[in-house]
Amino acid sequence: MATASKAVRPHFGGQEPNFRVVTLLEPAKKEMILYLEKEHQKQPIDHVPTRYARIEVIVKGSRDENQLFELIVDLCSDQVVKKQHHKGKHSYIDSGYMQAVEKACLADERVQAEILTLNLPPEATVVVEAWAYATDGMNDMAERLTMCWFYMRLLDNPDANYYAYPLDICAEVSENLQVCKIYRLPTKPSERINDEKRPYDRRKMHSTASSEYHPELRPTPRTTTKPYQVVQPDGPSFQVDGQHVSWEKWSFRVGFNYREGLTLHDTRYDGRSLFYRLSQSEMFVPYGDPRAPYARKAAFDLGNDGAGINANNLQLGCDCLGTIKYFNAHHNTPSGEPLKMPNVVCCHEQDDGILWKHTNFRTKNPVVARSRILVLQTIITVSNYEYIFAWHFGQDASIVYEIRATGILSTVPTDLDVREKIAYGTVVAPGVLAPYHQHLFCLRIDPAIDGHANSLVVEESCPLPIDDPSIHNPFGIGYMTEQKMIEEEGGFDLDFTKNRTFKFVNEKKINGITGTPVGFKLVRRRSLSGGQVHHAIEWW
């Protein structure tokens, strides 16, 4: 990172760039395939792919505007081989900038005057939370705007849950940290953005036991659970060599970057290639409250925020149990220096119940095998939410990508005396609405099923014809599966009436038992949004 940053600095006329990204540019797939094939065949490696770094920097233009540049650095020659100005584009959001937005917003005299009209309790502390200003693609801005949502904290503790007290003020802040709009939020279904100077309704205040999460702020927790110890006296069954992990018949390499977080490379089972690369490529969280400005709550938590940047330092005993191997990662400081991120990935084994069982009903003799899985886990915090991402590798050659959402709901204020039914949210506390929303997770899957000549197949279950004399199905109970090769890119619904599934197959490799191409099945989910709106996005 330091080498790449040093190569970039002379290209901006003495101006010190704000380094947003300094990361590895993965080698071209064609080069890597040749390298990996020789490695697995234990042949001499006569060519190592050139290492490149990809850098994003922000510098000031002639009118003091922010300009985003992307550069590619050859790490062998320490030379910049590409420099591109992305006009009208923005880099991801970083916590430092968002903190500056929050500070500027609270320091604005008009905002302070608006807060005074709320007549808040004397013990209240106002908290501003900055969000990206989402657009529908038709009204994109050349200058970045940031939404500022307001909350209050009633306890003199920085860990107090301010989401329990949303305020009905909203502000918009420009890229140069100027407040450009202040308005009041709708608190009824029929209400719209307004300028009404109404005070905070103190009937919304409630006990800490009903809304606080931190142990220091809650009643004493119950003590009904006994100690649960996960011990492996002989150590774990996996082996780690640098970034390479092997376990049972599995092998793969662990990667990590600022945007996607955990990535997996060259995944193999029993020596057979399965996937060239696996990662999560995006996470989209659209909110279903149609009232302005809530429609702008549409978070791209990887593209805008970054799973790697927001990764937690995982702690033994809570985040991960057992004998753990931790992987560190690095990001960069604004000056381009390496910034160590410790323990962002944990690798451990888990018991997974029964792998298989059979009892011979004649002899009454049971045979059972326990299942164990290898887990690669990372956890990120993006504002109010935590996301637990875990790759599970099974002894049955299965791969499961588990996602769990925890944390706290993003809340909005609602009127205590409202008589209208709120169709797009749930009231979770007095005067506090949690709008309906979805978490849409997009995986980037680069299959390599027994090689790289792979195809995508859609498979459906369908009944056998009952009135076709050439097909024997007299009772109408017969059914079969049909396969169709996907020839062009596109989106496909998950049709439960046909039990539709998708498979990555290698048509050149035939299973010796079934006589069909070897493959790996993909199971996915669907969106609930209307098909024509910009929230209704489904990725492959």
**Residue 117: φ, ψ to 5°:** -70, -15
C-alpha pair distances (Å), 527 with each of 173, 358, 410, 537: 31, 39, 20, 7
Q: Which helix (H) or strand (E) holds 102?
A: helix 95-107
pLDDT band at 327 (very low <50, low <70, confident <90, very high): very high
Average of per-residue pLDDT across 15-23: 96
Share of the chain above pLDDT 90, in %: 84
Share of the chain above pLDDT 70, in %: 96
CATH of domain 95-210: 3.10.450.40
Q: What is the pLDDT of residue 490?
A: 86
Mean pLDDT of the chain: 93
CB 435, CB 422: distance < 8 Å: no
More confident residue, 138 or 517: 517
Task: Look up residue 13 and give its two tokens.
Answer: 């006329």
3-state secondary structure of 342: strand
- CB contact burial 140-179 (16+ within 10 A = b; e otherwise): eeeebbbbbbbbbbbbeeeebbbbbbbbbbbbbbbbeeeb
- CB contact burial 301-324 (16+ within 10 A = b; e otherwise): bbbbbbbbbbbbebeeeebbbbbb
Residue 91 has pLDDT above 70, yes or no: yes
CA diameter of the chain: 87
Q: Which helix (H) or strand (E) holds 98?
A: helix 95-107
Residue 138 has pLDDT above 70, yes or no: no
**Residue 294: φ, ψ to 5°:** -65, -20
Task: Look up residue 526 and give its two tokens.
Answer: 């669907």
Domain ranges across the chain: 1-85, 95-210, 449-525+533-539
CB 484, CB 498: distance < 8 Å: no
pLDDT band at 333 (very low <50, low <70, confident <90, very high): very high
Q: Which of these, 380, 408, 385, 405, lies nearest to 163 by C-alpha position? A: 408
By mean pLDDT, which of 101-110, 135-144, 320-329 is the weakest? 135-144
More confident residue, 525 or 207: 207
Q: What is the pLDDT of residue 430?
A: 95
Q: What is the pLDDT of residue 524?
A: 66
454: exposed, middle or buried (C-beta count within 10 Å: 0-12, 13-18, 19+)? buried
* Catalytic positions, written as ranges: 301, 385
CATH of domain 1-85: 3.10.450.40
Q: What is the pLDDT of residue 428?
A: 95
215-235 residue pLDDT tens:
999 999 899 999 999 999 999
d(C-alpha 169, C-alpha 147), whole Å: 11
Q: Which of these, 473, 501, 491, lies nearest to 531 by C-alpha position? A: 491
**Residue 11: φ, ψ to 5°:** -85, 10
**Residue 31: φ, ψ to 5°:** -70, -40
d(C-alpha 524, C-alpha 90), whole Å: 31
Q: What is the pLDDT of residue 318?
A: 82
260-311 residue pLDDT tens:
999 999 999 999 999 999 999 999 999 999 999 998 999 999 999 999 999 9
d(C-alpha 336, C-alpha 8), whole Å: 10
Average of per-residue pLDDT across 188-216: 94
d(C-alpha 361, C-alpha 378), whole Å: 44
C-alpha pair distances (Å), 408 with each of 151, 325, 383, 385: 14, 29, 9, 6
Residue 532 has pLDDT above 50, yes or no: no
Residue 251 has pLDDT above 90, yes or no: yes
Torsion 532-305-327-324 (CA) sign? negative
CB 290, CB 297: distance < 8 Å: no
Average of per-residue pLDDT across 330-359: 97
CB 309, CB 382: distance < 8 Å: no
Q: What is the pLDDT of residue 148?
A: 98
Average of per-residue pLDDT across 207-214: 91
C-alpha pair distances (Å), 172 with each of 104, 154, 181, 348: 11, 25, 5, 44
Distance of CA 232 to the CA centre of its chain: 31
Q: Name, in order, each residue with C-beta under 8 angstroms of 116's C-beta and a sequence gap of 6 or more.
A: none
Average of per-residue pLDDT across 442-452: 96
Q: What is the pLDDT of residue 539?
A: 34
Residue 537 has pLDDT above 50, yes or no: no
Q: Name, in order, each residue with C-beta under 8 angstroms of 422's C-beta and a sequence gap of 6 or more.
A: 189, 414, 433
More confident residue, 115 or 494: 115
d(C-alpha 535, C-alpha 516), whole Å: 39
d(C-alpha 244, C-alpha 237), whole Å: 14
d(C-alpha 417, C-alpha 435), whole Å: 18
